Structure 1
Amino acid sequence: MMDYNIRGENIEVTPAIREYVEKKIGKLDRYFNETPNATVHVNLKVYPDKNTKVEVTIPMKDLVLRAEERNQDMYAGIDLIVDKLERQIRKHKTKVNRKFREKGELHEYFASASETAATAVEDEEELEIVRTKQFNLKPMDSEEAILQMNLLGHSFFIYTDAKTDGTNIVYKRKDGKYGLIETN
């Protein structure tokens, strides 16, 4: 059973919005053999320029589905989110079911349904590594890592933190600011 945690930022979550979200995301049930026990986290945000952002996270036992969408129309954003989540499910369906079979579990996580040939081909695609790079991580601080990343014109940069000796990653966010991922 899916429970819904719907939060609004700069918007009141009306019964109509709640019903629309539950109806649309509830359609994802058809991709599973059993309705997953999960809490669907939905964040709705309205910006001063009237654009909206919809974020959906569905953490399950062996899988986390997550998508976000910005759109002028919140209802259109919710529709696009469901499309993104469906693509994620179709993409991972074969791989996840194969993993369950290898573990020796009798049931499959995702339901099998008649699909178009295009979807079947998409499901069978393997993740292919087309290039491998090796390099030494230079000790530095996050500011120097950001400078290096910008000099290289990359969207992320991996480095060894000079203080903690841990491997960290700096990255450029969609809003133009920077993020830091620290490892343990």
Structure 2
Amino acid sequence: MQTSVTFKNLDPSETLKSYVSGKLDRFDKFLDNPAEASVVLSVEKFRHIAEIKISGDRLTINGKEETDDMYSSIDMVLDKLGKQIKKNKQKTRDRRGGKTKLADVMAVEDIVPQQDEAGTTQLKVKNIEYKPMDVEEAVMQMDLGDDNFLVFTNAKTDRVNVLYHRNDGHYGLIQPSN
């Protein structure tokens, strides 16, 4: 994580910089993309104030704490930021998980009759569960099963893909474009 530390009414200290940077590096495992952290450490009379702003991975998180010790201010604001990051990540996981439940809501009946000019045709609706995996893993799943296609979420792009058997014996991959 790229960190910039600013000192106000306080002598710049390399130990405080390394302490904050070390603590902020723990948040890299929660963030998918590189993030930037802006840290402002200040002293006003007897109050030691730590303000941290983390930007990246489509989110911006702010935190501010003040105590009578700079290290405890830093620890407390980092605890706040950790809770906010985890809460935000859980929200995105819940929203992504909601996509699989949408098919259950939409399909009320298994067979929906539709009129055609040549006669009556029937549409069979099949609800499927799909999970995140790589394309290589999806190919192995296809080899294990006897289905003609497999719907999965591509772990690299977080988009729904369809892997299917082609008539020439090879595989085909359908993936949405931007």
3-state SS of paired residue (1:37):
coil
Q: 1:71-92: per-residue Cα shift (whole Å, max 9, x none)?
A: 1000001111111011112222
Q: 2:68 aligns with which of 38, 55, 72?
A: 72
Q: Point out the structure with max Rg over C-alpha.
A: 2
Structure 1 runs (4+) deviating above 2 angstroms are 97-102, 104-109
* Preserved CA contact (<8 Å) 1:97 1:108: no
Q: 1:42 aligns with which of 39, 51, 54?
A: 39
Cα drift, residue 100 of structure 1: 5.3
1:68 to 1:105, Cα distance in 2 relative to 1, 3 A: farther
- Taking the aligned partners of 1:108 and 1:25, their CA distance within structure 2 comes to 26
- Taking the aligned partners of 1:55 and 1:107, their CA distance within structure 2 comes to 34
- Taking the aligned partners of 1:108 and 1:73, their CA distance within structure 2 comes to 44
1:51 to 1:95, Cα distance in 2 relative to 1, 3 A: same
Q: 1:83 aligns with which of 79, 83, 100?
A: 79
Q: 1:2-37: per-residue Cα shift (whole Å, max 9, x none)?
A: 1111001001221101000001111112223x4x32
- Taking the aligned partners of 2:78 and 2:157, their CA distance within structure 1 comes to 22
3-state SS of paired residue (1:18):
helix
**Identical pairs, percent:** 26
Larger relative contact order (CA 8 Å, sep ≥ 6) = 1
* Preserved CA contact (<8 Å) 2:28 2:34: no
- Taking the aligned partners of 2:157 and 2:71, their CA distance within structure 1 comes to 33
- Taking the aligned partners of 1:56 and 1:41, their CA distance within structure 2 comes to 6
- Taking the aligned partners of 2:65 and 2:157, their CA distance within structure 1 comes to 30
1:74 to 1:100, Cα distance in 2 relative to 1, 3 A: same
* Preserved CA contact (<8 Å) 2:35 2:56: yes
- Taking the aligned partners of 1:99 and 1:106, their CA distance within structure 2 comes to 16
- Taking the aligned partners of 2:71 and 2:27, their CA distance within structure 1 comes to 17
Q: TM-score, normalised by structure 2?
A: 0.52
Question: Is there any run of 5+ residues in structure 1 with no aligned partner, and where?
Answer: 110-184
Q: 1:49-99: per-residue Cα shift (whole Å, max 9, x none)?
A: x21110000111411111100110000011111110111122222212344
Aligned length: 104
1:43 to 1:108, Cα distance in 2 relative to 1, 3 A: farther
Question: Is there any run of 5+ residues in structure 2 with no aligned partner, and where?
Answer: 100-152, 159-178
Q: CA RMSD in A?
A: 2.3
Higher strand share: 2
Q: 2:22 maps to what in 1?
A: 23
- Taking the aligned partners of 1:41 and 1:107, their CA distance within structure 2 comes to 29
| 2:91 pairs with 1:95 | yes
Q: TM-score, normalised by structure 1?
A: 0.50
